[in-house]
Amino acid sequence: MSDSASNDTLTSQESPSPAERATLVGGRRRMSTDRWFQRLCIATAAASVMVLVFLLASILVEGIPALTSTLVLGTPEPNPDEAGMWPAITGTLWVCSLCALISLPLGIGTAVLLEEFKPRSKFALRAYQLIQLNISNLAGVPSVVYGILGLTAFVSMFSLFDQVREPGAAAYEIGATYYDQFSNLASDPFLSMGSEEVAERYFFVPVNARTDAPTIPKPGMQALEYVDNVLVPVEVTVTDPFDAPAEPEALSYAIDINAVPGRISEKNWYYFRLPFGRGVLAGALTLMLVILPVVIISAQEALRAVPSSLRDGALGIGATPWQVVWNVTLPASIPGIMTGSILAMSRAIGETAPILIIAGIVYIRNSPHHLMDSYTVMPLQIYNWTSRPQEEFHQIAAGGIILLLAILMTFNAVAVLIRHRMHKQQV
């Protein structure tokens, strides 16, 4: 009996039941699937890294010879040997710095409000859920859509001022001085009929004189001015450029024969206008729309990662909710917030479509001097060079890509340093 029982036990161990056999087969299949999936992930990651390394290597090989002082400090020129991207570099710094100054405080503040001060009433909770859903959806909207929105909201401000201004002109502005440039019937600027040895340049006429009024091409030529709704001739004064008056009132009548006939403007560094037009401020606000959902979501995730025990402990010793946020929650979440901000600003620096819609032009030879000034950015300048058929422009475009990567890595290094210092202070 004992031998028979032992044989039965041995037989049952050697031949598992159908259910056990199915379990073993399923376990082996899952393990095999897991191994193949791991291999697929490794192969995909390796292929991505190889493609990235190949692209970087090709850009470095083609672009390093083009890294010269002319490329960094020069202006766009038809000759590739003289072309540079200093206006694009300064435009990128202007737009991205202003975008960071606007979007980061606004995005972090929104995340703090949504996470640390959640509503309690049913209606407010529904509104909170709707806002959260919209923020998540906006993070996936293509950037060209934001460009169209920025063109409507910031450049023209929904055409609210079209009734009080000419198309493209400012309805309200400060910090600008305008001079009227006059011309004759041949559309030439006023020319002096005096001695050729004298470098006459400035002519003084009333600002409200007709720009299309003919002038008499002889010494003491005249312009026509409206006086009590009647055109009367006005004497034109000629002076040497070195003797131009410094008084703003007198200079307001000055005309430069080297300038194009029409209205000449001088804008100070604090120049501001409504609507914003196609300037630096409009571009920065448009990029703000692009990266703001990313900043909000990343800041929310960083705030959620802070242990609730820290909040409970601070509240338990009598701290107010704002003191908890300012002294406990926000400092503890700075590393995560900085990581999301780095990714958001990296996207903003490389954006081309919204800036192309806002700026409207890619060939600008001057750096911006105020928030309403025309500008270009490095991605637009690189796009302009790569679209040309000459191989020399492709080489300097590769050099421009290297400069763009260097600026991006510099911004990221500064952000990483700030994150590291904040994390070190917490430890």
- pLDDT band at residue 413, thresholds of 50, 70 and 90? confident
Average pLDDT over residues 106-119: 91
Q: Give the residue-averaged pLDDT of 310-322.
A: 91
- Examine the pLDDT at 194 and tell me if it is beyond 60: no
Q: What is the secondary structure of 307-334 as a DSSP string? A: -HHHHHHHHHTT--HHHHIIIIIHHHHH
Tell me which of 91-100, 212-221, 232-241, 271-280 is least confident.
212-221
Which of 400, 418, 397 is closest to 408 using CA atoms? Answer: 400
* pLDDT greater than 60 at residue 239: no
Residue 55 predicted with pLDDT over 70: yes
The strand pairing partners of 118, in sequence order, are: none
Tokens 């008056």: give the residue: 245
User: Does residue 209 surpass a pLDDT of 90?
Assistant: no
Query: In the structure, what pLDDT confidence band is assigned to residue 210 with cuts at 50, 70 and 90?
Result: very low
Q: Which residue has the higher pLDDT, 208 or 103?
A: 103
The reported pLDDT for the residue numbered 32 is: 85
Output the average pLDDT for the chain: 78
pLDDT at 401: 93
Q: What angle do CA 305, 308, 311 make, to 5 degrees?
A: 115
Nearest alpha-carbon partner for 341 in 423, 263, 238, 412: 412
**pLDDT value at 207 more than 80:** no
Tell me: pLDDT of 2 over 60: no
Segment among 139-153, 166-180, 251-265, 391-405 with least mean pLDDT: 251-265
SS3 108: helix
Residue 230: per-residue pLDDT = 52
- Check residue 202 and give its pLDDT: 36
Question: For 289-309, what is the mean pLDDT?
Answer: 93
Comparing 175 with 220, the larger pLDDT belongs to 175
pLDDT over 50 (residue 10): no
Write down the pLDDT at residue 71. 93
Q: For residues 8 and 12, what is the distance between their CA atoms, to the nearest angstrom?
A: 6
> What pLDDT sits at residue 352?
86
Listing DSSP states for 160-190 in one string gives: TTTTSS-TTS-SEEEEEEEEEEPB-TTSPBP
Question: Mean pLDDT throughout 201-216?
Answer: 37
| Residue 266, pLDDT above cutoff 80 | no
Residue-wise pLDDT for 213-234, tens only, equals: 333 333 344 444 445 555 455 5
Average pLDDT over residues 401-416: 87
Residue 182 has pLDDT above 80, yes or no: no
pLDDT higher than 60, residue 123? yes
Indicate the range of 15-19, 149-153, 177-181, 266-270 predicted with least confidence.
177-181
CATH match of 69-161+277-426 with 1.10.10.60: no
Q: Are 190 and 217 in contact (CB under 8 A)?
A: no
- 158 pLDDT higher than 50: yes
* CA pair distance 213, 206, nearest whole angstrom: 13
Tokens matching residue 270: 């604090």
Please give the Cα distance from 115 to 50 (Å, whole number). Answer: 40
